[in-house]
Chain A
Amino acid sequence: MRDLLRRYWRTLTTPSKFYSLGFLTIGGFIGGIVFWGGFNTAMEFTNTEAFCTSCHEMRDNVYQEIQPTIHFTNRSGVRAVCSDCHVPHDWTYKMARKMQASKEVWGWIFGTISTREKFLAKRKELAGREWERMKANDSLECRNCHEYQAMDFTRQSKRGADAHSTALAKKVSEGGKTCIDCHKGIAHRLPDMSAQ
């Protein structure tokens, strides 16, 4: 085993005998582009609505629920798809979330929420996890589109303007609120909220 490792190490650290420096640098560069492009394309594919709704767990439950909401269809025709709210947009956080999502593949293989009944029984736990995540990152995914600085309170209803101009003006640590505190269940149906 040691010998094998040593042999590979030696190969890696010795200068190339057959390939020119130009081939190795340019080839490596092009190979890098292909690999990186392919990697990102594949990852972006897992961010599409088509990918998420290709499993019946998502298609028959949460995807049905978002359809009458304003995030699915509205006057200006902008749609927030699953990943817009459920996957961070910054690369590092996105990678972390994608790694967490491998557990969802596990759940899919073993049918954790494979029936409507199983889904309803688990909904509170699943929703709670998302609420925790959004509370922790100050509703980052909401704020990717809805920025406090860009809100025109004169264009909001009185209720909205009153709430947004006070609750969002302060940081959560200073007694303010974050989007998800009030806007739970905005795109999906709520679980039993009697204990909240």
Chain B
Amino acid sequence: MRLQGHQGLGLVLLLAFTGAFAQGHDPLRLGAGFEQEPKTPPLVNAENDDRKRVRSYAMQPPTIPHKIDNYQVDKNANKCMSCHARTRVGETQATPISITHYQDRDGNFLADVSPRRYFCDQCHVVQMQTEPVVKNRFRDVESIIRKTKK
């Protein structure tokens, strides 16, 4: 059987993918081949100790130090803002949302949170005490600076 050009490419890709999966190269499959059912790791509760965490880099959106189960954030209501809004932090002592959140994309300051910043958990996320599925070698820039100064 003679293969057309695109068929041949498809076959090569298919082989490449199956090879990768069979060797467990897809970390999201937790090392299981694609013909196996990986064992689902147990769900972990979000950390809930209300202690601020160190940011890994200066521009990192701070992670949420409490659970946010069932927080409603839609066009009707924004549960996060019931504590983190500028006018609410006096009573709640929560961290107010930063000034950047009031700016539209042209840098104009608005009276309330900018629509493009409205959905908090697009950037801010809870943290869980669990083994990362994908290892990473990220190093804080400060540790690199310190090392080069030595």
Contacts and interface: CB of A to CB of B under 8 A. Distances in A.
Interface of A: 68-70, 157-159, 162-163, 182, 185, 189-193
* Chain A interface SS verdict (over half): loop
B66 A189 contact: no
Given A157-B50, A158-B49, A191 B76 contact: yes
Contacts of A162: 93
B49 A193 contact: no
B70 A69 contact: yes
Interface string B80-111: 00100000000011000000000000000000
A191 B69 CA distance: 19
5 contacts: A185-B79, A189-B74, A189-B76, A190-B72, A191-B77
Contacts of B66: 157, 159
Given A157-B48, A189-B76, 15 more contacts: A69-B70, A70-B69, A157-B49, A157-B66, A158-B50, A159-B50, A159-B66, A159-B92, A163-B92, A189-B74, A190-B76, A190-B77, A191-B76, A192-B77, A193-B77
Contacts of B48: 157
Contacts, number: 32
A73 to B, nearest CB: 12
Interface string B37-81: 000000000001110000000000000001001101011110100
Nearest to A167: B91
B73 to A, nearest CB: 10
Give 6 nearest A-B pairs by CB, closest first: A190-B77, A193-B77, A158-B50, A192-B76, A157-B48, A190-B76
Nearest to A185: B72
B127 to A, nearest CB: 15
A92 B69 CA distance: 37
A116 to B, nearest CB: 15
